[in-house]
Copies of this chain bind each other. A is one copy, B any other.
Amino acid sequence: MSGLRERKKQATREALSWAALRLSVERGVENVLVEDIANDAGVSPRTFNNYFASKYEAITWREFNRAMQIGDLLRARPEGESLWQGITESILAVYHAQMPEGERDPAPGWVEGVRRMTQNPQVIGEMLRGYQAVQNELAAAIGERLGTDDDLYPQIVAGAVLSAVRVVQSRWIAADPPVPFGPLLRTALRKLTEMQGESP
């Protein structure tokens, strides 16, 4: 289970993903070869494809991994809490962990690099693809919490929530001057529940 083998694999995956992200942010995605990533991670180019199907998958894997936690966090929220409260706090827990007020090391130009990177069409496509899996995961957690057998509603909610998260992310990354993430997300999620309309 947690043998040397597994730990090494995890470390390699982590190293590859990190290298892919760092290099892409530093020099721009189009100036990074799979070979560069593999070298940086100290592994053969062929091995890269044992872990990721494309460099874009490697780049987005960390974000994907982070977002996948949301479901578990939601499951761990207290019983009495409202669904929206639980969702909001779970998401904030995931993202605040990595981007609080004082970032660990907001290396000069890093945010700008991320901004440019997240405009690449293939990066965007890969990100969105990942969120589809996250949506399924979150929908499952929501379904459990609601204890409903209808599985359409959870998907709708999960989709709407994650869509809002994406909107907030793009706002946040583009914000100049920078703006705190938390309030932005709370506002967005509140608007979600305020969408009113005479049902047709």
Which A residues form the contact surface with B (CB < 8 A)? 53, 82-85, 88-89, 121, 124-126, 128-129, 131-132, 135, 152-153, 155-157, 159-160, 162-164, 166-167, 171, 186-188, 190-200
Cα of A75 to Cα of B53 in the assembled complex, Å? 42
Write 5 A-B pairs (CB below 8 A) sorted by A numbering. Answer: A82-B200, A160-B160, A160-B192, A190-B200, A193-B195
**What residue of chain B has the Cβ atom nearest to residue A124's Cβ?**
B129
A166 to chain B: which residues have CB within 8 Å?
A: 159
The number of times this chain is found in the oligomer is 2
Q: Complex: how many Å from CA A196 to CA B82?
A: 10
Q: Interface SS of chain A: helix, strand, loop or mixed?
A: helix
| Residues of the B chain whose Cβ atoms lie less than 8 Å from the Cβ of A187 | 152
Knowing A128-B125, A128-B128, A152-B171 touch, does A88 contact B160 (C-beta < 8 A)? no
Complex: how many Å from CA A190 to CA B186? Answer: 23
Q: Is the CB of B188 within 8 A of A167?
A: no
Nearest 4 interchain pairs by C-beta = A159-B163, A84-B197, A128-B128, A125-B125
* Residue in B closest to A199 when the chains form the complex, CB atoms: B190
Alpha-carbon gap, A76 to B74, bound state (A): 41
Contact A167 to B156, CB < 8 A, known contacts A125-B128, A129-B128, A198-B84: yes
